[in-house]
Amino acid sequence: MAVMLTRHHLIPRTRHNNKRIRRNYTREDLVTRIIQVCRPCHNHIHAVFSEKQLADDYNELVKLSSHPEIARFVSWIRDKPPGFKPRSFSQRGKRY
């Protein structure tokens, strides 16, 4: 079974019209800074960070993947079978 991947915008689309974002990034940056992640990882990213934090501090794959909470989740879910859906967790909560 193949894992379905989702597109994660490293600079969230909701922040694209922000004046500071438009000043600091080119249009090409905004539309090309996208990574493919599994649905559980995508949900976890958005549970851990606000849109503003993602745009300001975690707008590169290296920065995002080096965050301890994200790295811990990825390490934990890596061994799970394709299609595994972790129990939902509260905003910024931990259930793994």
Overall average pLDDT of the 19-47 stretch: 94
Per-domain residue ranges of the chain: 5-77
Closest CA to 30 of 5, 54, 4, 3: 54
Q: Which pLDDT score, from 0 to 100, does residue 4 have?
A: 87
Of the pLDDT bands very low, low, confident and very high (cuts 50, 70, 90), residue 1 is low
Calpha distance 96→87 (Å, rounded)? 8
Calpha distance 29→70 (Å, rounded)? 23
Q: Which pLDDT score, from 0 to 100, does residue 96 have?
A: 46
Q: Which residue has the higher pLDDT, 93 or 30?
A: 30
Closest CA to 51 of 23, 78, 91, 94: 91
Residue range 2-29, pLDDT digits in tens: 778 999 999 999 999 999 999 999 999 9
Question: Which ranges of 1-96 would DSSP assign to H, the alpha helix?
Answer: 19-24, 27-32, 39-48, 51-56, 61-66, 68-77
Q: Which two tokens stand for residue 93?
A: 């909560």
Calpha distance 59→68 (Å, rounded)? 16
Whether 88 has a pLDDT exceeding 90, the answer reads no
Whether 39 has a pLDDT exceeding 70, the answer reads yes
What is the chain's mean pLDDT, rounded?
Answer: 89
Overall average pLDDT of the 87-92 stretch: 59
